Amino acid sequence: MKGCEIVVEALLREKVEVMFGYPGGMIMDVFDVLYGSPIRFILTRHEQGAAHAADGYARATGRVGVCIATSGPGATNLVTGLATAYMDSVPVVAITGQVPTPMIGNDAFQEADIVGITRPITKHNFLVSTVEELPRILREAFHIASTGRPGPVLIDLPKDIQKAETDARMPEKVEIRGYKPTYAGHPQQVRRAGAEIARAKRPVIYAGGGVISSGAERELKALAVKAGIPVTTTLLGLGAFPETHALSLGMLGMHGTVYANYAMMESDLIVAVGARFDDRVTGKLAAFAPNARIIHIDIDPASVQKNVKVHIPIIGDVRNVLGQLNEIARKGDTGEWLKRVAAWKREHPLAYSRKDGLKPQFVIETMRELTKGEAIVATDVGQHQMWAAQYCRPVRPRTFLTSGGLGTMGYGFPAALGAQAAFPDRLVVVISGDGSFQMNIQELATAVENDLPVKVLVLNNGYLGMVRQWQQLFYKGRYASTCLARDARCPTICDGKAKKCPPYVPDFLKVAEAYGAAGIRVEREREVAPALREAFRIRKPVVAEFIVAREENVFPMVPAGAAMQEMIKGIDLA
């Protein structure tokens, strides 16, 4: 078999059904074999879109997402998507073409050292040096991407190796020296954790994306109910615990609920499950949860003791460890604690004013009510992302797709296309901003031409909203380069109070129609529900633009460098 044939045969053996990418000179041989294969190939309009689509496919399904690009700029255009997947522990395999082996290092046309470039942002990467090692490398790539703490793996494949022939032997098993993830928790550590839970009077479960990666949502719920412990989730953990449950505290952190942050700060025991104590969760580290002992369950040893002191580390697969813990866990004396948490929830609910224009929170709440939580929701990054995290209230895992660690604008729409390709009969909704949507707006062509009827809700406030919010709160209202309606006629200094602003560019309805999608514009609250019903009814991609209040802010908010209890609570939350 030729190297290019080995690639496609390996993909079929890995049960790859769909992949995303963009062709070019140094990967044409693989595309030539893909042309007649049963794998559905979706041509995106930019390689970054391909990487995000593979990521969205992986997050929605739990399977490895696959993307492919040519050498040089094709490969480097994957970088943002790979970094996004790496930060959020998403299993992706990226295949890139490379110049022929004898030309590597000679500054050949469209040559880039993509292995060197992506080393810090991939779980592993390979430069294939012989066709004989290609079957093993392909098998190892999928194994590494999907086991242990998941992550992206890149395979750089020179042109001459794609053409070379060998007697291909596809390995059935993978044995990688030095790579042996631990799956079962140490029994002694599990017993210690069980004893701590039984003693605790103010425990909190802090659940992250590792719960979803492991498929441990049932075990998590069982522990919370059995031991009577309230649960808060990270942004990536949304859906790991149903937010309609009485024990749910919603999301914690910089834009988390007041009661989740209070509970973390007042707790005497934190059970961290598949989470990494990142800065958006802890706030000021020196002031974080001063009276809490910490149990940390994670499959990645490097994540434990990294940011906070851990009293009982348990290395292992979250699902396995929670299963072990559920066998011995007992409820402690938590009655008064649960009453206190319930009081916080009553006193400090998420709230917003419905005066002064259409509010983005209202749009998201209405979407949630109409879909009854059944939709797969993907978000871009910014204010709309945080409102979605607060008001979507997911009840199942793999239904809320967002860029957490890297915070990648332009992620949501192509990620939604990946999810829609995986689940053609599900409703897939994108919550985006007018800034983020334009980052990968070209993928409207991908959506239309591949019959991916994603519904894009653009919350248009005419600003790069989250940056503008920071400028308002911490930079004396100096809106530097954040107004998206600004043009050459505007004054040099603008405080956002001008009454006659230039027309907004672009007209999203005309853009949608130019690509063959449907366009809807909404400016009033009473129009929201009918517009959403119409969007969901249309059997093709829809861009629904909502003209929302320009200077609405996301609250609660913990200022950068502040302790979690020092949050700005916002309207009616004081």
Residue linked to tokens 């963009």: 22
**What's the whole-number average pLDDT of the chain?**
96
- 109 given a catalytic annotation: yes
Query: Lowest mean pLDDT: which of 23-27, 81-85, 358-362, 502-506?
Result: 502-506
- Residue 494 binned pLDDT confidence (cut-offs 50, 70, 90): confident
* Co-location of 63 and 103 in the same domain: yes
Q: Say what the pLDDT of residue 499 is.
A: 73
* Co-location of 404 and 323 in the same domain: no
Last residue of a domain, one of 320, 347, 374: 347
Residue 136 lies in a domain: yes
- What mean pLDDT comes out for the span 459-468? 97
Supply angle C-alpha 391, 396, 398, rounded to 5: 95
- What mean pLDDT comes out for the span 464-490? 93
Number of folded domains that form the chain: 3
Catalytic residue among 19, 254, 466, 557: 466
In terms of residue numbers, what domain contains 44? 3-163
Number of H helices, E strands in the chain: 23, 18
Question: Is 165's pLDDT higher than 70?
Answer: yes
Query: Closest Cα to residue 403, out of 414, 395, 393?
Result: 414
User: Which CATH number characterizes residue 386's domain?
Assistant: 3.40.50.970
- What mean pLDDT comes out for the span 408-429? 98
Residue 247 lies in a domain: yes
Query: Closest Cα to residue 87, out of 174, 162, 152, 166?
Result: 152
Residue linked to tokens 């017993």: 191
User: Which CATH number characterizes residue 330's domain?
Assistant: 3.40.50.1220
Cβ atoms of residues 380 and 433 within 8 Å: yes
Lateral strand order in the sheet of 269-273 = 248-251, 231-233, 203-207, 269-273, 293-298, 312-315
Residue 449 lies in a domain: yes
Q: Say what the pLDDT of residue 565 is.
A: 86
Q: Which two tokens stand for residue 237?
A: 């953990």
Lateral strand order in the sheet of 376-379 = 400-401, 376-379, 428-433, 455-460, 542-547, 518-522
Residue 368 lies in a domain: yes
* Co-location of 337 and 365 in the same domain: no
Q: Say what the pLDDT of residue 574 is.
A: 38
Sign of CA dihedral 444, 447, 448, 453: negative
- Provide the β-strand partners of residue 294: 270
By DSSP bridging, strand 455-460 and strand 92-98 are unpaired
Residue 556 lies in a domain: no
Its pTM surpasses 0.75:
yes
Q: Distance (Å, rounded) from C-alpha 433 to C-alpha 382?
A: 7
Sign of CA dihedral 421, 423, 425, 428: negative
Q: Where are the beta strands (DSSP E) in 274-324?
A: 293-298, 312-315
pLDDT in tens, 42-66: 999 999 999 999 999 999 999 999 9
Report the SS3 class of residue 180: coil
- Residue 532 binned pLDDT confidence (cut-offs 50, 70, 90): very high
Catalytic residue among 159, 221, 345, 359: 159
Catalytic residue among 9, 41, 103, 110: 110
Could you give the percent of the chain with pLDDT greater than 70?
Answer: 99
Q: Say what the pLDDT of residue 573 is.
A: 40
* Co-location of 202 and 155 in the same domain: no
- Residue 493 binned pLDDT confidence (cut-offs 50, 70, 90): confident
* Co-location of 328 and 450 in the same domain: no
- 110 given a catalytic annotation: yes
* Co-location of 143 and 257 in the same domain: no
Helix H or strand E segment including 470: helix 465-474
Could you give the percent of the chain with pLDDT greater than 90?
Answer: 94
Query: Lowest mean pLDDT: which of 80-84, 90-94, 280-284, 525-529?
Result: 280-284
Q: Distance (Å, rounded) from C-alpha 111 to C-alpha 71?
A: 6
- What mean pLDDT comes out for the span 302-325? 96
The more confidently predicted of residues 32 and 489 is 32
- What mean pLDDT comes out for the span 85-106? 97
Measured between its terminal Cα atoms, the distance across the chain in Å is 69
- What mean pLDDT comes out for the span 24-29? 98
- What mean pLDDT comes out for the span 208-220? 98
Print the SS3 string covering 93-108. EEEEEECCHHHCCCCC
Query: Closest Cα to residue 567, out of 265, 234, 164?
Result: 265
* Co-location of 20 and 97 in the same domain: yes
* Co-location of 84 and 150 in the same domain: yes
- What mean pLDDT comes out for the span 525-539? 98
pLDDT in tens, 181-205: 999 999 999 999 999 999 999 999 9
- Residue 270 binned pLDDT confidence (cut-offs 50, 70, 90): very high
Q: Say what the pLDDT of residue 164 is.
A: 98
- What mean pLDDT comes out for the span 94-120? 97
Q: Where are the beta strands (DSSP E) in 447-541?
A: 455-460, 518-522
Q: Say what the pLDDT of residue 461 is.
A: 96
Query: Closest Cα to residue 241, out of 55, 399, 431, 363?
Result: 399
Query: Closest Cα to residue 57, out of 430, 424, 420, 418?
Result: 418
Cβ atoms of residues 557 and 260 within 8 Å: no
Residue 218 lies in a domain: yes
Residues 6+ apart with CB under 8 A from 292: 204, 264, 267, 268, 269, 270
Residue 277 lies in a domain: yes
pLDDT in tens, 517-526: 999 999 999 9
* Co-location of 400 and 515 in the same domain: yes
- What mean pLDDT comes out for the span 370-385? 96
Q: Say what the pLDDT of residue 4 is.
A: 98
Report the SS3 class of residue 114: helix
Catalytic residue among 47, 140, 196, 365: 47
- What mean pLDDT comes out for the span 425-439? 98
Q: Say what the pLDDT of residue 571 is.
A: 64
- 159 given a catalytic annotation: yes
* Co-location of 329 and 367 in the same domain: no
* Co-location of 226 and 312 in the same domain: yes
Question: Is 491's pLDDT higher than 90?
Answer: no
* Co-location of 279 and 220 in the same domain: yes
Residue 177 lies in a domain: no
Q: Say what the pLDDT of residue 35 is.
A: 96
